[in-house]
Amino acid sequence: MDCLEIPRENLVLKELGIFLLRALLLGALSVSAQAGENPSLKSELLRLAHDWEHVKLQVIDRDDQERQMADLAQRAGKIAEQYENISDPIVWVGIITSEQASLANENGSRLKALELAKRARDILEMVEKTEPATMDAAAPTTLGLLYDGVPGFPLGFGDKVKARYYHQEAVRYAPNGLDANYFYGEFLYRQGELAEAIKVLEHALTVPELSNRPIWDKSRRAEIRKMLSQPQKGVRTLAQ
């Protein structure tokens, strides 16, 4: 993100936008053991995930997207209140809040986007401190994205060291998590650590398929294969 000549406010939008674009890709989340023990909650969360996909992928009008995402945030909040001792719906509140930040950014509301990103961070850090493995380590995975993509001080709270820590934590708690491995591999790739990135991304392709999210699983694996085709060429060139 070497944009030193870009005005500060545009830099915020660009850097935040890069994070939020990656955050939009995060959604193939498995249900934790706690939620799995409650069929009603499991059903509600799966329905929430499918509705999230619909708003993200199929609603074209940005204003309509923003309205519908706000409705989803309220719905997730009510589920979290109903099941206050289970962390899964809280994680979903954090993820949907980051989606709201993305839409606010796309609609030109920079300050609103940053505020929503901070709110998502605070929500997810609360879960990460107590149950980091929940939903295939969704909290540390998303925190890694936040700290990686949001601008650093004084414009925001971005921090590459913290980003690396959370990505590594995500893979540690979810070694076979598709998203945890994908986003850590992507982080390594952008940091120029190609050999390690390839190792992580190739492992991501070996993890079990997400049978309840086949469309998402297929699209994620396609993105991984696309990324792998690029760094491999670079590594071979350097090795020659």
Higher pLDDT, 11 or 133: 133
Structure tokens belonging to residue 240: 């020659």
Q: State percent of the chain over pLDDT 90.
A: 50
Strand partners, 152: 158
Look-up of token digits 């009510």: 78
pLDDT recorded at residue 234: 46
Amino acid identity for residue 214 in this structure: P
Residue 94 maps to a domain: yes
pLDDT recorded at residue 90: 94
Q: State percent of the chain over pLDDT 70.
A: 80
Using the predicted structure, report yes or no on whether residue 43 has a pLDDT greater than 50: yes
Q: In angstroms, rounded to a whole number, what is the distance separating the alpha carbons of residues 96 and 147? A: 17
What average pLDDT does the structure give for the chain? Answer: 81
Higher pLDDT, 10 or 187: 187
Write down the pTM of the prediction. Answer: 0.78
Helix axes 110-130, 88-106, angle to 10 degrees: 160
Which residues, at least 6 apart from 76, have a Cβ–Cβ distance to it below 8 Å? 48, 89, 92, 93, 96
pLDDT digit string, tens, across residues 117-174: 999 999 999 999 999 999 999 999 989 988 987 888 888 888 999 999 999 999 999 9
Amino acid identity for residue 54 in this structure: H
Give the length of the chain: 240
Using the predicted structure, report yes or no on whether residue 29 has a pLDDT greater than 90: no
Residue 152 maps to a domain: yes
Structure tokens belonging to residue 20: 């939020």
pLDDT digit string, tens, across residues 63-108: 999 999 999 999 999 999 999 889 999 999 999 998 888 788 788 8
Nearest-10 Cα torsion for 133, 139, 141, 146: -160
Q: Smallest Cα–Cα separation from 35: which of 145, 127, 157?
A: 127
Q: In angstroms, rounded to a whole number, what is the distance separating the alpha carbons of residues 59 and 63? A: 10
Q: In angstroms, rounded to a whole number, what is the distance separating the alpha carbons of residues 206 and 22? A: 22
Structure tokens belonging to residue 174: 């979810």
How many separate domains does the chain show? 1
Q: In angstroms, rounded to a whole number, what is the distance separating the alpha carbons of residues 237 and 240? A: 5
Structure tokens belonging to residue 114: 């940053």
Lowest mean pLDDT among 8-22, 24-38, 125-139, 147-161: 8-22
Q: With contact defined as beta carbons under 8 Å apart, do 135 and 30 qualify?
A: yes
Amino acid identity for residue 215 in this structure: I
pLDDT recorded at residue 136: 92
pLDDT recorded at residue 163: 97
Q: State which residues form the domain around 72.
A: 8-174
Residue 165 maps to a domain: yes
Residue 201 maps to a domain: no
Residue 124 maps to a domain: yes
To the nearest 5 percent, what fractions of the chain are helix, strand and coil?
75, 0, 25
Rounded mean pLDDT of 22-28?
44
pLDDT recorded at residue 121: 96
pLDDT recorded at residue 108: 84
Residue 21 maps to a domain: yes
Residue 180 maps to a domain: no
Residue 102 maps to a domain: yes
Structure tokens belonging to residue 139: 């909290």
Rounded mean pLDDT of 221-236?
75
